[in-house]
Amino acid sequence: MRIATWNVNSITVRRERLLSWLERTGTDVLCLQELKCDTDAFPADTLRAAGYEAAVHADGRWNGVAVVSRVGLDGVTHGFPGCPEYDGVAERRAVAATCGGVRVWSVYVPNGREVGHPHFAYKLRWLAALRDTVEADAAGSAPFAVLGDFNVAPEDADVWDISLFEGATHVTAEERAALAALRGTGLTDVMPRPLKYDRPFTYWDYRQLGFPKNRGMRIDLVYGNAAFAGAVSDAYVDREERKGKGASDHAPVVVDLDV
């Protein structure tokens, strides 16, 4: 089974690229983030014609997540209990489904904006609530994974130059501790291989030639339980998809499983 996660930065703009990419890679299950559309506007019909079902949790301008599968889609869960609100709004940042015997969460962790900003505290609360949500499945014997845009670089090596991140979000001890707590439920960081250079970055800013200069970050992660991680035969970042006009600023992370 080929399973992947991709922050598409607008499903509306990325629709044709997405369809071509699914066909090119033969991906069975795809977790999507930052749809930037209403649930009604999600191209479910187009995907169905290509053989994929979709579980969509989206609310318009920002956020929005989905699980797209051609190997079944059961037990769909929109959001999770105890998910914190921001500014009184329950943002749509998580959706789960069981696809071909593998249970997956597609998550879009809040950005945090700046250290000390209310959004930063929200980000930490959100990760803590996610940890509580996945605890039972992570400890289970069935293959399970949380995939998505975590908006945290787990290690200093996961950004192109750590010296430029002094005081910035995405690399703080608090954010990394929240990720460590999540892993503490029994999840392993499935490290993808880069197709070029030495580190598997998944995001490059649109600005200032970030991609050509490889000023990237590894913030799109696959956290799998023992059954999931033990079945991984390959994992890579598809940086080819970051190239050219009309690319998302994130590249897909692809994982092959022997299940």
Partner DNA sequence: ATGGCCTGATCTTCAGGA
- Considering the rule CB under 7 A, would residue 205 count as an interface residue with DNA? yes
Residue with Cβ nearer DNA (40 or 45): 40
Stretch 92-111 residues interacting with DNA (CB under 7 A):
110-111
Only segment of 55-63, 66-74, 99-107, 172-180 that touches DNA (CB under 7 A): 55-63
Question: Among the candidate windows 3-11, 74-82, 128-136, 182-190, which touches DNA by CB under 7 A?
Answer: 3-11
Judge contact between 214 and 148, C-beta under 8 A.
Answer: no
Q: State the Cα–Cα distance between residues 39 and 41, nearest whole angstrom.
A: 5
From candidates 26, 88, 167, 244, binder to DNA by CB under 7 A = 244
20 binds DNA (CB under 7 A): no
Structure-derived torsion over alpha carbons of residues 39, 41, 45, 50, reported in degrees to the nearest 10: -90
In the shown chain, the binding pattern of residues 59 to 98 toward DNA, with x for contact by CB under 7 A and - for none, equals -xxx------------------------------------
- Record the tokens describing residue 2, joined without a space: 């080929």
Do 176 and 124 touch, CB atoms closer than 8 A? no
- State which of residues 24, 157, 206, 233 lies at the interface with DNA (CB under 7 A): 206
Which of these, 226, 248, 230, lies nearest to 239 by C-alpha position? 248
Phi, psi of 21 (to 5 degrees): -65, -40
Contact flag: residue 10 with DNA (CB under 7 A): yes
Residues with Cβ < 8 Å from 66, sequence gap 6 or more? 11, 31, 32, 35, 42, 54, 55, 56, 57, 58, 95, 106
Residues near DNA, by CB under 7 A: 7, 9-10, 12-13, 34, 36-38, 60-62, 110-111, 113, 119, 149, 151, 169-170, 203, 205-209, 211-212, 217, 219, 239-240, 242-246, 249-250
